[in-house]
Amino acid sequence: MSGHSKWNNIQGRKNAQDSKRAKIFQKLAKEIFVAAKHGPDPSMNPALRLVVDKAKAANMPNDNIKRAIDKASGNANTEHYDEISYEGYGPGGVAILVHTLTDNKNRTSTNVRVAFNKNGGSLGETGSVSYMFDRKGYLAIPREDLTVSEDDFLLEAIEAGAEDVTVSDEVFEVYTDPADFPAVKEALAAAEYPFATAELTMIPQTQNEVPDDKKVQFEKMLDILSDDDDVQEVYTNATGY
């Protein structure tokens, strides 16, 4: 897995995402709301703690986080979201996983299907591409203000329980088993490492090149999917995305 780096994809998408900050906060608020339904206290609710940490790493204001938690614990609230995943292929045969939280399955499934079909892709059966991805904890630690050597950091991360570490000039990328993610994150946070990203994610086992003549179409598909209010995450095994 060491050959895989999410960082370039994250940096590329981050610039595009700055203009979509409000939409990102709206999606995070939905995730917080769903997690907080099982208890409003992050220290007692690990799922809520994970998504609150993810929201903080995205610079979501504390007021927004609190509002989403309060909304979930309000008795009058009857909102309900289903978690549905869609799997399929994009232009050039790259694998795509789409995770959604929706209060209207028909609307979501129509929108996702159209995004695939109109942009050279096709939706597959459940299980058709998910086996190509592994669920992992992922932490990105920028190196610009760090004095720690690569070897020392590697040792610290492995001692904390990390499965794998990818090193570049800009960033340390730490991958963990999902079950070990909170402990690894807490150990590295206690050592005062800053996180640019801290989340559970899907990592492709192998990567697939998007043909040059399909890139515009593929990017359009990704944009349409990530712009959809019901879509929480889009994962792909395309190289460089």
Contact assessment for residue 2 and residue 166, using Cβ atoms and an 8 Å cutoff: yes
- Show Cβ contacts of residue 58 under 8 Å, excluding neighbours closer than 6 positions: 24, 25, 28
Q: Which residues of 95-127 are buried (b: 16+ CB within 10 A; e: fewer)?
A: bbbbebbbeeeeebbebbeebbeebbbebbeee
Angle at 71 between CA 46 and CA 39, to 5 degrees: 25
Of residues 2 and 198, more confidently modeled: 198
Q: What's the one-letter identity of residue 208?
A: N
Residue 31 in 3-state DSSP? helix
d(CA 39, CA 182): 18
Confidence of residue 1 (pLDDT cuts 50, 70, 90): very low
| CATH number of the domain within which 143 lies | 3.30.70.980
Assigned domain for 59 exists: yes
In a 10 Å sphere around its CB, with 0-12 CB exposed, 13-18 middle and 19+ buried, how is residue 75 labelled? exposed
d(CA 128, CA 85): 12
pTM of the full structure: 0.85
Mark whether 142 and 190 lie in a shared domain: yes
pLDDT at 4: 59
pLDDT at 6: 72
d(CA 81, CA 230): 10
d(CA 214, CA 200): 29
CB atoms within 10 A of CB 138: 19
pLDDT at 113: 97
Q: What mean pLDDT comes out for the span 195-220? A: 93
pLDDT digits (tens, 9 = 90+) for 41-58: 999 998 999 999 889 888
| CATH number of the domain within which 34 lies | 1.10.10.200
C-alpha dist (Å) from residue 155 to 83, 160, 237:
37, 8, 29
In whole angstroms, how large is the CA radius of gyration of the chain? Answer: 18
Greatest CA separation for the chain = 54
Confidence of residue 5 (pLDDT cuts 50, 70, 90): low
Domain end: 36, 54, 73, which one? 73
Q: What mean pLDDT comes out for the span 148-155? A: 95
Mark whether 177 and 91 lie in a shared domain: no
For residue 133, pLDDT over 60 is answered with yes
Q: Which two tokens stand for residue 161?
A: 């329980």
Mark whether 153 and 104 lie in a shared domain: no
Mark whether 38 and 153 lie in a shared domain: no
Assigned domain for 147 exists: yes
Q: What's the one-letter identity of residue 140?
A: A
How many structural domains comprise the chain? Answer: 3
- The rounded mean pLDDT for the chain is 90
Domain end: 56, 73, 90, which one? 73
Q: What mean pLDDT comes out for the span 130-148? A: 94
- Rounded to the nearest 5°, which phi and psi values hold at 200? -85, 135
pLDDT digits (tens, 9 = 90+) for 69-121: 999 988 666 788 999 999 999 998 999 999 999 999 999 999 999 999 999 99
pLDDT at 7: 72
> Which residues share a beta bridge with 176?
137
Contact assessment for residue 162 and residue 191, using Cβ atoms and an 8 Å cutoff: no
pLDDT at 2: 46
Q: Which two tokens stand for residue 59?
A: 């610079």
Q: What mean pLDDT comes out for the span 17-37? A: 87
Question: How far from each other are the two terminal CA atoms of the chain, in whole angstroms?
Answer: 16
In the chain, % of residues over pLDDT 90: 77
